[in-house]
Structure 1
């Protein structure tokens, strides 16, 4: 059975505000069910393990998606989400693909996490797909620090500077992800209209721009993986 490792942020605090962040729920649920419904096993992990924080804004009525509702009614998925494994217990050899959902949290922890950065390098070196959506591509920053030049000339996308401005959170984050990726030499592309779906694939690296791109990003990873796996979920709990 083919297995996908999904890495979620453990960070919830923003700057200059009492508002919280974390995983953008739909950016987890959309890819999660894309993988499950296409027969892939999914393992969830995070830097500190346990239940990741969820961005409260992603639970508001205007952001609720069909996959969010499905997750709400899925006790098995909820149990896995509440008990993510710690990153330092996992290696690339046991998985076929790596995926990073967004939410603003990765700007802090995954962008600086050496274990995550090395996982990305190990997957890419093994010719295994790495997917990331919205702020998930922040994890590429640490990978690029460990392997300078990694992103030079790579076609990527992520939550744009314009989308940050329109979301009114630029004063609460440490940097704009689009600018950070460009500084690392990435060939950054985005949809002409903010908050519309956009996916870039460069070799085995797949990146999605924003929440609407979460499902399409996962489907692009699945396309790279080729044949469907056997239906099922890897449950790391006893």
Structure 2
């Protein structure tokens, strides 16, 4: 906006309140540099509330650009700053204001629009990131709850299986089952059978014929009636 940075810095460094004669003079000089001619400068000074007396105008005339020079208000705009365009969660009024500020001839206004746009984009990204994080945490919590339920069901099934298995375990079969004899009795029967010419295995079932022969040989003799 300024061609004379010394003048710009001087105006920027002045205190805003109260408005001093030095401030008014600096503002008048800057205004004169943007005017087409004396009449245009007078109008600009009047609109801005700056002095338009003859002495002030005479002092400012040398600052008006020469005829043919483009006034400051018509110089080409500064190159646009490369800022990624992102969808912003703003109302149409705010978006229109940002568009207006982005096209403003003043670099300070354009830069502010860029900063606001970047801040909105950062806030939007942070909001989306936090929303995605909350959604992921909810999914994890739900998965953990389902896993705990499944583990509890598995423990219940295992406990039920053990109880059923314990209830259905049959009583161990005694050696020599089917004959109703103990192992000691069977051992004695096998020894007697071998002594009396019977063939028996060292283990397993003893043939019924051998059992009957053993029983018959060991029955008490029946006493005959006198």
What's the TM-score, normalizing by structure 1? 0.19
What's the TM-score, normalizing by structure 2? 0.20
Quick one: higher RCO (CA 8 Å, sep 6+), 1 or 2? 1
**Higher normalized strand content (fraction of residues):** 1
